[in-house]
Amino acid sequence: MQKFKKCISSIIFGDSLQGYECKVTDIKNYVDKGVTVYKTIRLEKPEGFSYRAGQFAMLAHPELKQHNSDELLWRAFSIASSPLQDFLEFTLLIKYTGGLTQYIEQNIDIGSTLMVRGPFGSFCLDKSLSKIVFVATGCGITPLISMLRTLLIEGTDKRLQFFYGFRNANQFLYREELEEYARKYDNFDFYAAASDDPDWPGFKGYVNPLLTEHAFKGADTHFYVCGSPVAMESIINHLKRLGYPEANIHTERWIKR
């Protein structure tokens, strides 16, 4: 991984919580039909900013305020980078509704500044588990890629699977990284499903049939699931029908905003 300088970490105090002002060091856009659907942003990591894989942080921009208020417009985003990496990374679903993600899409470039505070959340990786299955759709991949990166950087010998559903190849987040992991690690299996791409050479449809055919069996199998509310409900109910106990299904619920 490319190494970046430490965050300039100008300390900001807002809403009684400490925040950091951090430079953007890298941007990757996922464009579909001429429109940016997702954007991966890499930031300088603030000194002393520690978190657990799966947690989220709040992002804001100094010039974007809440409606009819002088308070900053903070929004929550899962952290995609591993705590073991020396940068912070977020992948955002761009919503063209006048909020923070649209502002970032239209105004943020490499060298720009974003504000970060956190971490928050209890959706965290349990490293004591022996068989771990990650199931994500769309931008729900972000906390799970953080968990996966952490395990692989540490050199785990655990059995790992990753099931990922996306609309089409243009919206396949972290494709090169995941396919490289599948080639490199014997204990890692990756399954991809494109729900709306007639030219996709692999499996077409949703991830549930892939889970039926390939997911680890046994009471020691645990699932980490994240995605849109509709996809989450479908996946969770499908896993229960397959006989996996609810206690073995760990989920992250998105906040509607």
Q: What CATH number should be reported for the domain holding residue 61?
A: 2.40.30.10
5 in any annotated domain: no
**For 56, how many CA atoms within 13 A lie in the half-sphere containing its CB?**
20
Stretch 48-63: mean pLDDT: 95
65 DSSP assignment = B
Shared-domain flag, residues 156 and 244: yes
Per this entry, what is the length of the chain? 257
| Residue 201: cis peptide before it, omega within 30 degrees of 0 | no
257 in any annotated domain: no
Shared-domain flag, residues 180 and 241: yes
Of 65, 91, 120, which closes a domain?
A: 120
Residue 70: band (very low, low, confident or very high) from pLDDT cuts 50, 70, 90: confident
197 in any annotated domain: yes
Residue 16: band (very low, low, confident or very high) from pLDDT cuts 50, 70, 90: very low
4 in any annotated domain: no
Residue 13: band (very low, low, confident or very high) from pLDDT cuts 50, 70, 90: very low
pLDDT at 255 over 80: no
Shared-domain flag, residues 26 and 98: yes
Of 85, 120, 155, which closes a domain?
A: 120
214 in any annotated domain: yes
What is the per-residue pLDDT across 94-139, written as a single tens digit (0 to 9) for each?
999 999 999 999 999 999 999 999 999 999 999 999 999 999 999 9
Shared-domain flag, residues 157 and 242: yes
DSSP 9-32: -EEEEETTEEEEEEEEEEEEEEEE
Q: Domain of 220?
A: 131-252
234 in any annotated domain: yes
Specify the pLDDT at position 15: 38
| Amino acid of residue 96 | Y
Long-range Cβ contacts of 235-238 (<8 Å, 24+ apart): 235/135, 235/137, 235/207, 235/208, 235/211, 238/208, 238/211, 238/212
| Angle, alpha carbons 207-83-255 (nearest 5°) | 50
Shared-domain flag, residues 65 and 171: no
Of 69, 101, 120, which closes a domain?
A: 120
Q: Which residue has the higher pLDDT, 253 or 74?
A: 74
Shared-domain flag, residues 156 and 99: no
Mean pLDDT of the chain: 91
What is the per-residue pLDDT across 201-213, written as a single tens digit (0 to 9) for each?
999 999 999 999 9
Residue 68: band (very low, low, confident or very high) from pLDDT cuts 50, 70, 90: confident
Specify the pLDDT at position 1: 27
Specify the pLDDT at position 254: 62
186 in any annotated domain: yes
Specify the pLDDT at position 17: 56
CA dist., res. 55 & res. 254, Å (int): 12
223 in any annotated domain: yes
What is the per-residue pLDDT across 142-185, written as a single tens digit (0 to 9) for each?
999 999 999 999 999 999 999 999 999 999 999 999 999 999 99
- The CATH number of residue 182's host domain is 3.40.50.80
Shared-domain flag, residues 181 and 229: yes
CA dist., res. 242 & res. 44, Å (int): 43
Q: How many domains does the chain have?
A: 2
